[in-house]
Amino acid sequence: MIRWIVRLALVLVVGGATAVAITSTSGTPHPPQMRTASEQAHEVLVIKSTRELHLLRNGATIAQYPISLGASPTGHKAQEGDERTPEGRYSIDWRNANSIAHLSLHISYPNSKDQAAASARSVSAGGNIMIHGLPNGWGWLGRLHLVQDWTDGCIALTNAQMQDIWARVPNGSPITIVDSI
């Protein structure tokens, strides 16, 4: 993940783009407050083929965001290190304001089915799959991160988008990740 960002940053700087000061911070000093219950999503839907994350309320999209996925996005995550974003139904089970990326929401992958499939192949299913912003200090990249899928299996957005999602998605929210609809 970091190697790709470093390469992109070098291309931008060498190519004549304006250099932006990069700061090294960990986490967000003050994550946004949760929105009122009437403004929160009931569910998250990720559509891998179109690189979209939808926040749903009563089955209708209330917000939509472009995303980057794992560096090898085709197919369901089968094991640790395959750089795939899982597919299936999970939940947002905890959040981290001090992650190495700008805010993160943990996805409950692997579930028991994922664990059993990996165990049958004598491999680790992996884990620590998150919805997150850009790595700390790299927020200036903004939407440029969308040029290529670059995570290790996570779902990445700009920092501003991540702040909105953080405030609208409570712990326990279901998340469905599909290849296409």
pTM recorded for the entire structure: 0.85
3-state helix, strand, coil in the chain (%, to 5): 25, 25, 50
pLDDT reported for residue 95: 96
Give the tens place of pLDDT for each residue, 5-43: 545 553 444 343 333 333 344 556 679 999 999 999 999
Q: Give the CATH number, domain containing residue 139.
A: 2.40.440.10
pLDDT reported for residue 9: 53
For the chain, residues with pLDDT lower than 50 are 3, 6, 10-25
pLDDT reported for residue 4: 53
Residue whose token pair is 């219950």: 37
Q: Which domain holds residue 27?
A: 2-178
pLDDT reported for residue 28: 60
Instruction: Kindly report the number of other CB atoms within 10 A of residue 124's CB atom.
Output: 13
The domain tally of the chain equals: 1
Q: How far is CA 95 from the centre of its chain?
A: 12
CA atoms of 81 and 153, how far apart (whole Å) = 8
Q: What is the DSSP letter of 1?
A: -
* Percent of the chain whose pLDDT exceeds 70: 84
